[in-house]
């Protein structure tokens, strides 16, 4: 099977990371107003998740951490070379791992699903896949 | 093996190690989280509503409002009292919006335990939350989730859930504080203060300001307007 060109992987990762910044920014703005992101299909899952103690880490809304994470992934996707490849892989691995943990919390601790958090988890999973492929296929090779 | 292939192999090994560490970290997080059941099984109402109601208003101890405000309205309440709950949902929010939010007055809560033996630990838990800047959030959230007056719902699990919902940052310190002799003595002291002021039921209100001679008893006014007039007269 022919692997996609690194430029293609970087371009897709750039778009996904930019989309992720949008999603995380929306969650941050909705929460900072004392409310919660609006669930597209109604329901109160987003309110329940936003009101839970897990929505903040050391006093910081985790959506803000999400914005920072996606922004760093965007930079890693825009840059060439092994440093960017490894940084993109490492960052997306942390983001993916944390998304797995947050999804676990939603399902088993908070017992509510927020569609925006799921959207972010999906985007982070895609970014992890793209960055893992970029690292496996191109690390140690000329940019 | 060429130098570039050697470098590639090292970087791939680093990547593999990172994946392994990430799997271990997530597993540890999930196991630790799964064992934290205290307070996690009580589902709370209105966490968001309380957050919105108090957003942007300073909290210090059990006092809500700008510390520079010269007038202080005091509520002597029992967290298990259903009438106090009705006041906290109907009358007090009006006063918060009209007088406290703008900095004209601040409002303080003092425990006046009259219901049963669970009233004192509830009041102490509020004081301990106040020590971490979440006193009024705790009080409001407790009222919103108050159980039946005659039932015994004020246990560790319920109080912990309220503290978590109120955003108390250090639950360990809050637990130590709320059980301390000094905190329980404070609840007793404010209850005695209420009796000295002539109060016999909750909620009872008092006001303190430049135009009052110390703290003056207001009793249980029937409307927010009466409390607002008392604040104006005390200023």
pLDDT of residue A99 exceeding 60: yes
Residue A93 with chain B: CB contacts under 8 Å: 18-19, 22
Q: Is the Cβ pair B26, A101 closer than 8 Å?
A: yes
Q: Cβ distance B83 to B92 under 8 Å?
A: no
Angle B122-B168-A36 from CA coordinates, rounded to 5°: 115
Tokens linked to A16: 């996904």
Per residue in B38-94, pLDDT (tens digit) is 444 577 888 878 888 888 899 999 999 999 999 999 999 999 999 999 999 999 999
The percent of residues above 70 in pLDDT, for chain A, comes to 86
Q: Which of A104, A139, A142 to mutate to test the interface with B (most CBs of B within 10 A)?
A: A139
| CA R_g for chain A | 16
User: Would you call A42 an interface residue with chain B, using a CB distance cutoff of 8 Å?
Assistant: no
Q: Kindly report the nearest CA distance between residue B78 and chain A, in angstroms.
A: 26
pTM to 2 decimals?
A: 0.59
Q: Say if the Cβ atoms of B8 and A139 lie within 8 Å.
A: yes
Angle between the N-to-C axes of helices A62-78 and A115-138, in degrees from 0 to 180, rounded to the nearest 10: 30
Instruction: Give the C-alpha separation, A36 to A48, whole Å.
Output: 8
Distance from CA of A37 to the nearest CA of B (A): 12
d(CA B18, CA B12): 10
Query: What residues in B contact A100, CB-CB < 8 Å?
Result: 26
Helix (H) or strand (E) holding B51: helix B47-54
pLDDT one-digit tens code per residue, A10-50: 999 999 999 999 999 998 888 776 566 766 655 557 766 77
């Amino acid at each position: 099977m022919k692997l996609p060109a690194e430029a293609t992987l970087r371009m897709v990762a750039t778009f996904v990371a930019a989309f992720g910044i949008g999603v995380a920014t929306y969650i941050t703005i909705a929460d900072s107003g004392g409310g919660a992101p609006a669930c597209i299909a109604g329901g109160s899952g987003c309110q329940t998740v936003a009101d839970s103690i897990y929505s903040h880490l050391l006093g910081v809304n985790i959506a803000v951490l999400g914005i920072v994470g996606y922004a760093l992934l965007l930079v890693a996707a825009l840059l060439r070379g092994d440093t960017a490849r490894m940084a993109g892989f490492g960052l997306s691995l942390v983001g993916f791992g944390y998304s797995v943990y947050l999804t676990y919390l939603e399902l088993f601790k908070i017992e509510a699903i927020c569609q925006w958090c799921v959207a972010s988890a999906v985007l982070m999973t895609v970014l992890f896949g793209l960055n893992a492929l970029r690292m496996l296929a191109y690390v140690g090779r000329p940019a | 093996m060429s130098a570039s292939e050697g470098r590639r192999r090292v970087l791939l090994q680093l990547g593999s190690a990172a994946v392994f560490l990430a799997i271990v970290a997530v597993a540890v997080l999930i196991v630790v989280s799964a064992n934290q059941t205290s307070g996690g099984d009580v589902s709370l109402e209105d966490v968001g509503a309380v957050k919105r109601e108090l957003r942007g208003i300073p909290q210090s101890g059990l006092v809500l409002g700008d510390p520079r405000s010269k007038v202080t309205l005091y509520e002597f309440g029992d967290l298990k009292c259903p009438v106090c709950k009705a006041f906290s949902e109907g009358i007090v929010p009006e006063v918060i919006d009209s007088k406290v939010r703008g900095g004209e007055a601040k409002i303080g809560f003092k425990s006046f335990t009259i219901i049963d033996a669970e009233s004192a630990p509830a009041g102490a838990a509020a004081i301990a939350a106040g020590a971490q800047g979440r006193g009024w959030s705790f009080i409001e959230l407790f009222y919103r989730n108050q159980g039946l007056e005659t039932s015994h719902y004020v246990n560790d699990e319920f109080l912990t859930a309220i503290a978590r919902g109120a955003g108390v940052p250090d639950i360990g310190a809050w637990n130590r504080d709320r059980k301390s002799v000094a905190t329980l003595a404070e609840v007793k002291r404010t209850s005695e203060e209420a009796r000295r002021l002539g109060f016999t039921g909750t909620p009872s209100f008092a006001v303190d300001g430049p135009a009052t001679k110390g703290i003056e008893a207001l009793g249980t006014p029937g409307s927010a307007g009466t409390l607002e007039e008392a604040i104006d007269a005390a200023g």
